[in-house]
A and B are shown apart, each in its own frame.
Chain A
Amino acid sequence: MAEEANLHSLQELEREEILQVLYRDQTVRNIEEERIRKLKIHLQHLRWKGAKRVSQEYKEKSCARCQRILGLLLNRGAVCQGCSHRVCSECRVFLRRTQAWKCTVCFEDRNVKIKTGEWFFEERAKKFPTEGKRETAGAKLLQSYQKLSKISVVPPTPPPLSESQCSGSPGRLQELGQFKGFNKSMENLFLSVATHMKKLSKSQNDMTSDKQLLATGPRQCTGQSERRSQSDTAINVTTRKVRAPDILKPLNQESPKCPTNPVLKQEDLSSSPPPNTLFSGGLRHGSLISINSTCTEMGNFDNANVTGEIEFAIRYCFKTHSLEICIKACKNLAYGEEKKKKCNPYVKIYLLPDKSSQGKRKTGVQRNTVDPTFQETLKYQVDPAQLVSRQLQVSVWHVGMLTRRVFLGEVIIPLATWDFEDSTMQSFCWYPLGAKAEKYEDGVPPNYGELAVRAKLVLPGGPRKLQEAQEGTGDQPSSNGQLCLVVLGAKNLRVRSDGTLNSFVKGCLTLPDQQKLRLKSPVLKKQACPQWKHSFVFKDVTPSQLRQASLELTVWDQAVFGVSDRLLGGARLSSKEDPAGGTDSCSQSKLQWQKVLSSPNLWTDMTLILH
């Protein structure tokens, strides 16, 4: 063999070896995830055991953990230092060699933090706040392979492939070969991935629609989302990261003699594919999360006649800021496939207005029943202040053959009026399922929050000069001014499931000659109601230009690794007639904008509705 070929095969071997390690690591990780899941369920059960029930008189003094009635003299109970709940003597755990104790839940909480390694992630978050909790380098590397090879739909459990699919891989490679920047060595990489996939166990039965997946077209993504939803491990979307692909680059691009810069190359990130088509690993417990609900959110689903009810409970823990929705059961559901009398229901929830994939929680799928029992708790981390602006949307879906989803009904509960302190509100309740609510009523555009801005048109000579300018023909050099805009803050934005955002504002002033002036604010991290107080100054603009111009302000949520920022909403200021506009809010902002233009050198405060 020629020397070059040898070198090449060596690199391939390297990839093989690393892949072997990554798969072994994946096995270890899966075990760990499973262990952690069990621990958390255990803690959950402990918590629920102590939750006050309706049947019980709240005023009666009882142990917060075991519900035992506490006496006035004997067994009076004592307040736990951790959670401030009164507990009986049985429900205390004494800490070793001390007189200090904690209630069973607080003790277990700490225990779980140790056992799950949560303490480490909390510590690490101090330095790397954007780092996904449990995502490991190995997971990321593996994902990068899977993403690139389009075997992205494979669930985190070792993904078995049938022979037919493996034999189909050359075709897959050919297709991939059309992607830009796809070089020879990458193909080798995929080949090696395919070989590895082949080696893995062969039990996955829901890979049958793989062929369909390879075909381009709208069904492709629905196929993916179904696959993901059915995997029994959830996918943590919030920790989506795309750094991994370039980590492996040195292996493909560089010869052993060429040293690699140890610094990770971030600038390569932009070349990554958009996140919606990516598989993101990292596991989350308690609920199923799929990357996107393309089929169910894009209206690509069937409707059944809605019947039946759903039973669930809503609780909120003010201490941990955790909103827990315990989905118990449904009864008398409509058949997802009426003719076949088939129904495989699952429940999906959102905290509206957040309909992003991060905000989605799902239960597992129950097979062949119209009276499913779920007994699953879906959780959100939400700030108490956030609750009032949210609506809990609980919908029931049938998983059909292949990609089809059938809508079985939904319930929407505005949390603004929900009294989370009232124990009667925490009990399980049956809610009748309703038909799908209209997206938004009667063409009124959705309100995605408000943006407060302050604007001023600065002209060199003050108001008098403006009048001259207005009286004149317009573009006189002397009338050149600047438009100052202070982006104060925004509220009621569509926050992430944890109630925060890493938000920033983009301003784009489009002048009559279609010239666009763009400015951007810094990113404010971890805030639901960001106060940027950032000023945009558009220089060298004339009032006459501005009268013909339009200013677009858009609010964005920065993606974890800057791959695809999420648009939270935008507002447009223009004195021209907006063909798409015409609603009240638009005309109001138009008036405000005109006020800015007509009163130079004076600040005008505006509140813009984001659409």
Chain B
Amino acid sequence: MLKARTVRKPTNVEEKSSFDEHTFGLEYPHRLNFYDRPPAFDVTLEEFETAALDRLRVLAEIESSAVRGRSWEETKSVTGEHCNKYLPLHSSTAKYIDRDAERRKDILGHFVLRLAFSRSDELRQRFLKAELTLFKVRYDDSDMGEREAFSESRNFNWVKVDDEEKKAIRSQLFSVYSGPKATREALFKQETYLKVRWTRVPDLVSHRKVFLKGGWAYVPSREQSSIIFQEFESHLEQALLLTAKSLPRLDEDTRLDPILTNLSKGFLAGVASGWNDDQTDKDHITADMIDSLSKHFPLCMQHLHFKLTKDRHLPHFGRLQYGLFLKVLGLPIDEAIAFWRRSFSKITDDEFNKKYKYNIRHSYGLEGRKANYSALSCSQILIPSNKDSNWVCPYKHFAHENLSTALAARYQLAGTDLSEVMATVKAGHPHVACTRVFEITHAAQGIKKGEGIGGGESVTHPNQYAAVSIELEKASSGTKTEAMVVD
């Protein structure tokens, strides 16, 4: 058993232990949560890990929604589905469900990931963004009563605008309503306004949705979610910084560190639900196998492979993108050196050792700062963190004619399939196009349209594409051999 953290017992548990209609007799009276209090209950290591993994699945899907440019409605429905699957959280009025247990898991998962993701600035930013979206989705899902109860439960530091003041600036507030005069009157009369410093609602200010006077923003109650979201964001941002500062003390617990490290690694690689680039249980491949395996590669890697074979050379970013992909695919360092040496057939041993060997070893974490680099995920390829990075996603970076030639050459795509993929590309959805290509090229193994790389998931990582493709081939050849035996 493990005590997640010793903190003083939340006071309101004692105060509100008897049933009252606002809390529904719950230990955690609100479905929405700002995560002010760390979990103060005992959990097993397994619970610790599952709660975090399940939440990570949801957050990863949110990230991939953002990368794929899904609309808010789409993001909401996809996230909602994932939440129901991994992280159900029912409203306080729900019956026959252990709402407190759900909420405990929600809180536990959040705090475990907070520990895992406070270690670097990049992780903090991404975690913050994903958590904010999750909060927004849940807020959107909640009914009015629940929202009100929640906003009453916290001090958001807003000032209610009294009738006198409302009247005084009536003409300024009035202009945002539309429709006939009578309806506008009625709407205005009903509306209550909250006053906050403008800096707390930058998005409303940016779109001129609020009236400003002396630095105060007059926020109509229907926009108050903006204040709540902003508060959630700045609150969590502060909390993450605090956690980051206290992290060194935590490292003493050897049981937690590996779990936390794995969690943050998985998130960094942009791994969506379930896919894991942990190579320990994977078959190693050899330099000779790469050529025959290349039919399983997504177009980016096929392109790099083709280019390497043709030019007997790849530029720096190409080497890195392809090299890391091969590493994660299971190519050990000595095989990698053999592979690259053989591929760069135009240069001498001496030049190879001088110019390239170090970089290959570096990417395996054997030189320099000895970092174990993970392969680039689609999001890292599409949105490089450094603008000088020159990663290639054919669906995004190729000219349309070249892409369509490449698709025909590498995957023998033609006719309606080809035009469908090209249409998706032109609409600016490289992920969707890549996923569709996977579906088309694996139709023989029974992959249908919309199924993606399994369970409707889209491609989010070149290695995931290749791994699933290889799995599928194994599975289908497996059934074939079995069938033969039966024969």
> Do A and B associate with each other?
no
